[in-house]
Every structure is written in structure tokens, then in C-alpha cells.
A and B are shown apart, each in its own frame.
Chain A
Amino acid sequence: DAGVIQSPRHEVTEMGQEVTLRCKPISGHNSLFWYRQTMMRGLELLIYFNNNVPIDDSGMPEDRFSAKMPNASFSTLKIQPSEPRDSAVYFCASSLEGRAFFGQGTRLTVV
């Protein structure tokens, strides 16, 4: 398996634009997580899916953020409209009853 695959690896966008981050989890994993990492706040859990169902989205910072998991092999995190304070590295991770595997992340810069 190629591991957790995220795209794009880097994204630069202007304030106000919509941004969509994509994630393909490891086949067979039943949990998927979106995290955001910044120097100031470290790794923050945004949302957690189990069997494609959102279980806990309490970490989603505000209504501008939304996440979907239409099937077991794909998830998106959307920011609309984007703001400079959304600049961070966004990680997707998947797991099967415990051990979590992370993607390489998407570095988002909003100017």
C-alpha cells in the first residue's frame, strides 16, 4: 500500500478563495482524521470519521471549514472563504483500531 495520500502537497491561494484538500486513506482503515499543524498551536484535530461517518467535528474552527467522506477511499477538507490565518500544514491520517498513519501533509498559504 502506498500509505495515506494527500493532494496537493502545496497550495498558495488568495484570501477569499475556496480551497479543497484531498485525502486517500489506507485501504481497509476504518477511521480517518484531519489535523492542522502550526508553530503556535501544534497539532490540532479538526474532525474524525469512523466508517465514513463524522464522529466528532468539535475541532473545526468555524463554519468556513467543512469535511466530507463520501466513501471509504476518499475525503476532502474544504475552506470557503479562506483567510490568511488558515495558513498551516494540514494532515490527513487513517487508522484501523489504533495505529495511525499520516500523509505527508498539504502546506497551505493564504495571502
Chain B
Amino acid sequence: KQEVTQIPAALSVPEGENLVLNCSFTDSAIYNLQWFRQDPGKGLTSLLLIQSSQREQTSGRLNASLDKSSGRSTLYIAASQPGDSATYLCAVPTSGTYKYIFGTGTRLKVLA
């Protein structure tokens, strides 16, 4: 059974800092891994999708890496801004499916 853990649960940083969010999963037989952002009272926005054959994906100030063998992914946010404040969730499918299991998220606050 796929289990997804995210550390830290909450993070507060001053504007401009680079930061790393962590995601670990127990079943490495996955097609891909996704990172999402959720603003309070809103739905989830897909940020990055890493296929199982890839090691990283980049979009603007965001970079996500994937190490399947160790069951880990990191989301790196460069030069953080107050607008980055949100909850970040990673989602991993169970083995051989696209049935996504979510971590509990990291609640990020970037202080101006």
C-alpha cells in the first residue's frame, strides 16, 4: 500500500530565501509523481509532473527532483515570494496505476 509523507508540515521563511520541501513514498513502482499547490479555500493546482524515467523537472523558480530508488522527491523553490504562500502537496500513484495518493502537505508562509 502506497504511503506518502511530507516534511516539514509547516514552514515560515522570510522573503527571498531558497527552500526545499520533502516528499517520501513507500512504493517505488510508480509511473510519475506530481507536486500541487493549494491556496486556502481553493482547489489544487498542478505545478510539476515528473515521469518515472526523469530525475527532475523545472518550471520558473520551481524545481522538482525524483529519486525512485530511495522513494524521495524534493521541491525546490528559489527566491521565495509572499505569493508563494500556500500548502504544497505531493501525489504518488499506487503501483501500476494512476490512482494518486496524497501526502498531508507542507504549509508554507513567506513573510514580506
Contacts and interface: CB of A to CB of B under 8 A. Distances in A.
Interface residues of A, number: 22
Interface residues of B, number: 22
A45 B43 CA distance: 15
A91 B43 contact: yes
Give the dominant DSSP class at B's interface: strand
Contact of B98 (A35, A98, A104): A98
Interface stretch (B16-24, B44-52, B62-70, B71-79): B44-52
Contacts of A50: 98
B34 A100 contact: yes
Interface string B2-40: 000000000000000000000000000001101010000
Given A43-B102, A98-B51, A98-B98, 4 more contacts: A31-B98, A55-B97, A95-B98, A98-B34
